Structure 1
């Protein structure tokens, strides 16, 4: 089968590799309908990852059709069209039951969805069947694909930031996750949604997703703009969707005392000053998003056409052209690239 491999930073190829098969009783193998390139894939591409890159299979977002299941799989059948979280979870441990399947006590992460087939461990706890099967509408397919990561991650950020009626929510980051956080915050009923963006194409999509205000300034100047819009108090909640020192400082500075910061940007060299955190008196919740927890609700919202998160895909190309997709995202020519499998 075809699979996207990162040989080294900046060196992405499409190679032929063996088709995966069921190995454990809880496994499922799916035939991918679509995959995509994530902003987090750019960290190793830019040689900014702590783990050295060497012939790494890429991808962790997916929708597809089940083609094989292990003897222990109970909730799935061959032919089911499914979407799953970017993290593996058994759905039964105490952590999963508490609502944090992305930190399952018995499972973890995986990679390799930028391919024609992939093997999913703990299939019962990770995959969700999409009613009605594979959609013919490519826009709907893109919406389901977004639910696998960026929508669920943006949703978790908004939930962690306590988005809801009467609230002002600020979003730091105008990539696909940040844009989905805007969509989530508005869908959850927030009165005012503010997004930081200097790129008109991203700002335009943020407005379409429900952003009421776009702020171009960053850092302390950007945080001051938020305070000016909130009678000097700061936002009730802030979604941090970047993962840098600057983005976290901006998120904390934009939040009012007693407010909430939902941080989901993959952390790189972030160090929070203890005294600043002490004085901020904010609630912090974040990390790898428990996407599996939200999938049933997100699927239902998509099917009702209440939300259309697939609009974050600004380019769609065959999987053979994945190297060009990485380059386009690295150069910020595209927000997010969908790979047609």
Structure 2
């Protein structure tokens, strides 16, 4: 099969890899219909994380081709959605709604790699969710978004205690931040402030439900949020970047008693203890338990109540994955869908 492999920072190739096969009786083999490039894939691409001949990809949708003898929830021919963390969905942690911390968890990108034509999916019963039928192209793109960025944005909004009557600020205008905007509106937020300097992303944020745009960053961005909220700060803030500046901007833009939902993959983030102590702000986040939300999100998408697939502003064949990485690295694309 053909698959994307990152040989070194900036060096992405599509090459032949062995076809996957059933190894354990709980496995499934999925023929991928679509996959995509994640903002987190840019960290190793830019040299911020080590990489050496790593198969890439952790977001996927596709058709089940084979199942192991113990798999009961999906069967060959089913169209399924997966997530970036594979889980058994039965352990005590999974049952509490935190499948991303499953005691048997496998990070899809580190051990599977789904920027490929096929993938072996361990713990298939716990990790894959079948759709009511075969989706059309637009619905397929939205289902692909559900496998990571939509589920992550949804978790960020829940972690930030978004709800009716609240003002929400979203730090980060990448795919996850934009999905945070969509989630906040779906969860009933009265006001959603998207922090973005890019006209195309601002337009999509408004389409997803943003009521206000703030272009300032850092302390100036915090001051602007305070200005818009009578000096108090937002009730809920979604942090979707993962840098020191973005995390501190999120905390400082939150009112006392408010909540920060952080889902940006943290790089060199250090929280000043004294400031955190006196902020009165709740912090919750980390890797999103996408599997927890997939049935609900699939239902919303299938009934066309939401269209998160609009976040894919560039579609390329799998063979052109290197161009997709360049486009996202140079911010010529928000998120790239790879057609398999």
TM-score tier by shorter-chain length is over 0.9
SS at match of 1:306: coil
Q: Which residue of structure 2 lines up, in the alignment, with residue 118 of structure 1?
A: 119
Structure-to-structure mapping, 1:1-341, within 5 angstroms: 1-49=1-49, 52-111=50-109, 112-132=113-133, 134-135=134-135, 137-341=136-340
Q: Distance in 2 between matches of 1:264 and 1:319?
A: 27
Tell me the distance in 2 between the aligned counterparts of 1:11 and 1:166.
47
Q: Deviations over 1:296-321 (max 9, x none)?
A: 00001001111100000000010000
Structure 1 residue 104: Cα displacement: 0.3
Give the C-alpha shift of residue 74 in structure 1.
1.3
SS at match of 1:236: strand
3-state SS of the aligned residue for 1:156?
A: helix
How many Å separate the matches in 2 of 1:35 and 1:107? 21
Q: CA deviation at 1:107?
A: 2.0
For the residues of structure 1 that align with 2:86 and 2:186, how far apart are their CA atoms?
27
State how far apart, in whole Å, the 2-side matches of 1:84 and 1:35 are: 11
Alpha-carbon distance between aligned partners in 1 of 2:306 and 2:162, rounded to the nearest angstrom: 16
* Distance in 1, Cα, partners of 2:223 & 2:146: 33
Number of residues of Structure 1 aligned to a counterpart in Structure 2: 337
Q: How far apart are residue 76 of structure 1 and its match?
A: 1.0
After TM superposition, the score normalised by the length of structure 2 is 0.98
Question: 1:25: how far off?
Answer: 1.0
CA–CA separation in structure 2 for the residues paired with 1:47 and 1:302: 36
TM-aligned CA deviation for residue 228 of structure 1: 1.1
Q: 1:208, 1:110 → 2: CA distance?
A: 31
Once the two structures are overlaid, the 10-residue window that deviates more, 248-257 or 106-115, is: 106-115
Compute the displacement of 1:108 (Å).
2.3
Q: CA deviation at 1:224?
A: 1.1
Give me the whole-angstrom Cα distance separating, in 1, the residues matched to 2:126 and 2:273.
38
Gap runs ≥5 in structure 1: none
Q: Distance in 2 between matches of 1:260 and 1:321?
A: 41
- Stretches of 4+ aligned residues off by more than 2 angstroms: none
User: What is the DSSP-based 3-state SS (H/G/I as helix, E as strand, rest coil) of the residue aligned with 2:88?
Assistant: coil
Cα distance in 2 between the residues matched to 1:26 and 1:165: 41
Q: State the Cα distance separating 1:220 from its structure 2 match.
A: 1.0
CA distance in 2, matches of 1:194, 1:108: 35
Question: Could you tell which deviates more after superposition, 98-107 or 38-47?
Answer: 98-107
Give, in whole Å, the separation in 1 of the partners of 2:168 and 2:244. 20
Using the size of structure 1 for normalisation, the TM-score is 0.98
CA distance in 2, matches of 1:225, 1:307: 30
Deviations 1:143-180 (A, max 9, x none): 00000000000000011111111000000000000000
Question: Does the 8 Å CA contact 2:83/2:108 hold for their aligned counterparts?
Answer: no
- Alpha-carbon deviations, 1:184-238, whole Å to 9, x = none? 0011110000011000000110000000000000011111111111111100010
Report the 3-state secondary structure (helix = DSSP H, G, I; strand = E; otherwise coil) of the residue aligned with 1:15.
strand
Structure 2: give runs of 5+ residues left out of the alignment.
none
